[in-house]
Amino acid sequence: MGVSSRKRALWLGGLMALGFTVFSWRLLDLQVNRADYYKAIATEKHCARQTIYSRRGAVMDVNGVPLASNEPVKTVVVDASVVKRPEILLELLSKHLQIPLGQLQEKLTRQKWDATENKMRPAPYIVIKREVPEQVAEALRTEAASKNVRGLVFEQDSVRVYPNGDMLCHVVGFVNRENKGVEGVERSMEEWLKGHDGFRYSEHDRTGKEMVAFRRMERPARDGANVRLTVDMVLQDIVESELDAAVKQFRPKMITCIVMRPGTGEVLAMANRPHYDLNQREGVADESRKNRAIMDMIEPGSTFKVVTSAAALDCKLVRPETSIYCEHGRFMYGGTTLHDSHHGYGDLTVNDIVVKSSNIGVAKLGIMLGDQRLYEYIKRFGFGDRTGIQLPGEIGGIVHSPRSWSKISITHIPMGHEVGATPMQVISAMSTIANRGRMMTPQIISSISDSSGAVLASYPPVEVRQVVPPEVAEPLVSALKEVVSKKGTAPLAHVPGFEVAGKTGTAQKTSPGGGYERGKYLVSFAGFLPADKPELCALVILDEPIPGNIPYYGGYIAGPIFSKIAQRAARHLNLVPKTEFLKVGGSLVENKRGSGQ
């Protein structure tokens, strides 16, 4: 081999080595250095992320009656880029979806700028209608298939439905378009109800069809948990029907009723008027959406006298039989005159002060207690603080500290004036007395379970505190029993077969400009039965009822409503009636009620 051929061979070898080096470097660059970049491009082209939607959990009553559930619906979408016979498609859509042809035509002629072809093209994604029922979508799909119409896409969706419409509306609440709880349990239990969407990465062929065999990472959707309430829909139905009857009879501005189990604090029923249909919420006034049981602040009136009496008894300032002079109905204090609303009384025992609902008697008990002690007991009964019920928007009410009390506050607060309380706080205080001084947290959620029924969380009764000892609560219960007798202010609250204990309330409404409004009252009755072993405690409040020829007192307006509710509720709860309590004071209460007293 000559020198020149050897050189040529070296050159050739060198060039080949260089070429291979360049290719190797390029290979390394593609496979190692820029691997992630190209992998991402390839993945984007062939691999898609599919969302697996979760279902929102259901809300049900204590017996499993559904209160909020999901209904599958379809969103009808048109891909205008593949539509071949638009006139048939238009006709089909108009016929099945009840949309005017003109409106549809306007939608279908929408165009979108295509950057790759540099021109306008028919839009590939036009939403025609949302929340189309399954049957309608199925009929449309079948007819479109038979007529060989292309371009129709049906996307799976779901809507929240409330089978009971307006019943328990303030408690259940509703969701917005994004399926997020806005009010009621739907909002307070959002974290449990909402569920978590899953996802799946899978490869697609060049036509865009999923290649199931090449599915990659997958995380299944986790459905929302089911929330079980403490509410019993049979009791709720009883309450709602009686409130409807009361609205017809008294035409009040609002009514609120809460039924509670005193031993556990479970809310068995809760209803307000005005109310609204959860399935037709458009145009509903804010006032109708308000859950007045926990959001309305009222002056509790005479029902509050149990708090003052319990405080005076617990401080051992008086005994039930201690006599208090009630000034024959006119008591001058701090430059103002305090009146007794029913009659003027001379000497009354503490027991009778509660039975007769004497303002002067209870004001004197307040004076005996003094500012600080009275304030402490009010707070111990839970006024001025949220009760902690699992509903959103609860307010704490207003209880001013003694520093800001006026000279006459000590005579007004004991009878339930100058105190802002929610109906929930009032029934909670009455339940505390019924429960012999033991205060329980009001509960509306019973348990949380998954779709298989396994309990994820339960809410056992929670004791807040022993407000007063049973020895103090017991004589108070005796006094409250007498309230529902011929001697007391609420004989019409009697429930045949049961011994009822309770307290009436008739509070003049406060004026926004200060003072009280003449002729505008808030009447209430809070009671429980059987008095010796309470199974249910109920509160009925009516705002500005029009009583007709019935006296304007809680015992005459709210008392009979309580009686009707309690009578039907006792039957449902299987409470055993006792023959000795069939009558009150020797005459049947039914006769009195019939006469319109």
Of the candidate spans 24-32, 62-70, 81-89, 471-479, the one that interacts with another protein by CB under 8 A turns out to be: 62-70
Answer yes or no: are the C-beta atoms of 412 and 301 closer than 8 Å: no
Q: 167 or 293: whose CB is closer to another protein?
A: 167
**Least distance (Å) between residue 165 CB and another protein:** 4
568 is an interface residue for another protein by CB under 8 A: yes
Q: 531 or 589: whose CB is closer to another protein?
A: 589
Q: 196 or 571: whose CB is closer to another protein?
A: 571
**Least distance (Å) between residue 493 CB and another protein:** 17
Q: 32 or 212: whose CB is closer to another protein?
A: 212
577 is an interface residue for another protein by CB under 8 A: yes
Of the candidate spans 76-84, 217-225, 526-534, 573-581, the one that interacts with another protein by CB under 8 A turns out to be: 573-581
Of the candidate spans 162-170, 344-352, 512-520, 521-529, the one that interacts with another protein by CB under 8 A turns out to be: 162-170
Q: 91 or 157: whose CB is closer to another protein?
A: 157
CA distance 432 to 526: 12
The residue to which tokens 């208090």 are assigned: 324
What part of residues 445-504 is at the interface with another protein (CB under 8 A)? 496-497
The residue to which tokens 């009032």 are assigned: 426
72 is an interface residue for another protein by CB under 8 A: yes
241 is an interface residue for another protein by CB under 8 A: yes
Beta bridge partners, 211, equal: 203
210 is an interface residue for another protein by CB under 8 A: yes
Q: Considering all CA atoms of the chain, what is the largest pairwise distance in Å, rounded to the nearest integer?
A: 145
423 is an interface residue for another protein by CB under 8 A: no
Q: 523 or 589: whose CB is closer to another protein?
A: 589
Question: What track of x and - describes contact with another protein for positions 106 through 145 (by CB under 8 A)?
Answer: ----------------------------xx----------
**Least distance (Å) between residue 55 CB and another protein:** 8
Of the candidate spans 86-94, 233-241, 251-259, 376-384, the one that interacts with another protein by CB under 8 A turns out to be: 233-241
Instruction: Specify the pairing of strand 59-60 against strand 226-229.
Output: parallel
Size of the site for another protein (CB under 8 A): 33
Q: Is the peptide bond before 551 cis (omega within 30 degrees of 0)?
A: no
CA distance 513 to 121: 65
CA distance 129 to 140: 12
237 is an interface residue for another protein by CB under 8 A: yes
What contacts 154, CB < 8 A, 6 or more positions away? 74, 75, 76, 77, 137, 141
Instruction: Specify the pairing of strand 347-349 against strand 126-133.
Output: unpaired
579 is an interface residue for another protein by CB under 8 A: yes
Q: Alpha helices, DSSP H only, in 111-163?
A: 134-146
Tell me the CB-side half-sphere exposure of residue 565, using CA atoms within 13 A. Answer: 37
Of the candidate spans 161-169, 291-299, 329-337, 383-391, the one that interacts with another protein by CB under 8 A turns out to be: 161-169
Out of 48, 62, 97, 161, the residue judged to bind another protein by CB under 8 A: 161
**Least distance (Å) between residue 214 CB and another protein:** 8
**Least distance (Å) between residue 167 CB and another protein:** 5
Could you write out the DSSP letters of every residue in 297-350? -B--GGGGHHHHHHHHHHTTS--TT-EEE-GGGEEEETTEEEE-SS---SEEEH
Angle subtended at Cα 322 by Cα 317 and Cα 324, rounded to the nearest 5 degrees: 95
Residue 152 CA to its chain's centroid (Å): 40
Q: Is the peptide bond before 530 cis (omega within 30 degrees of 0)?
A: yes
Out of 43, 70, 288, 323, the residue judged to bind another protein by CB under 8 A: 70
What contacts 499, CB < 8 A, 6 or more positions away? 481, 529, 530, 531, 532, 578, 581
DSSP state of 41: H
* Cα–Cα nearest to 219, from 204, 201, 238: 201
Of the candidate spans 38-46, 205-213, 454-462, 474-482, the one that interacts with another protein by CB under 8 A turns out to be: 205-213
Name the site residues for another protein (rule: CB under 8 A).
65-66, 69-72, 134-135, 156, 158, 161, 163-167, 210-214, 233, 236-237, 241, 496-497, 568, 571, 576-577, 579, 590
